[in-house]
Amino acid sequence: MLSLIKPMSEAGLRQFVIRALDRGYVREGFHSEVERAERNISDDDIRYGLSQKTWTLEGFPQPSKTGGFKYLIRTVDVEQEELHLLVKPDTETGNLKILTKY
């Protein structure tokens, strides 16, 4: 029997993000860190945005080509400018990967 993996609930994602922040398990992927470096969004901006209790999910979780799901989070950066983060939680390692930022 094939079991279908379901996306995290918003509450589950919030708990995952808090744990990843507390443990220092937030990592930028190549696209976010290298290919989008010109966007001038710092690690501090990312961590600040994710630490805000007011962040919201945009749309629905999308399946990732590498397994699991990716989620678009809308929040603000250190300067209170709008910040979007496409994230992918890795439930096996506890890492939260930032796929892209804008």
pLDDT at 32: 81
Q: How far apart are CA 66 and CA 53, in angstroms?
A: 28
Q: Count the Cβ atoms, other than its own, within 10 Å of residue 90.
A: 16
pLDDT in tens, the chain (102 residues): 444 689 999 999 999 999 999 999 999 998 787 766 677 899 999 999 999 999 999 999 999 998 999 999 999 999 999 999 999 999 999 999 999 999
Q: How far apart are CA 86 and CA 71, in angstroms?
A: 6
pLDDT at 3: 44
Q: Count the Cβ atoms, other than its own, within 10 Å of residue 52.
A: 13
Query: Which amino acid, residue 43?
Result: D
pLDDT at 45: 96
pLDDT at 1: 41
Cα 27 to Cα 5, 88, 94, 95, distances in angstroms: 23, 10, 11, 7
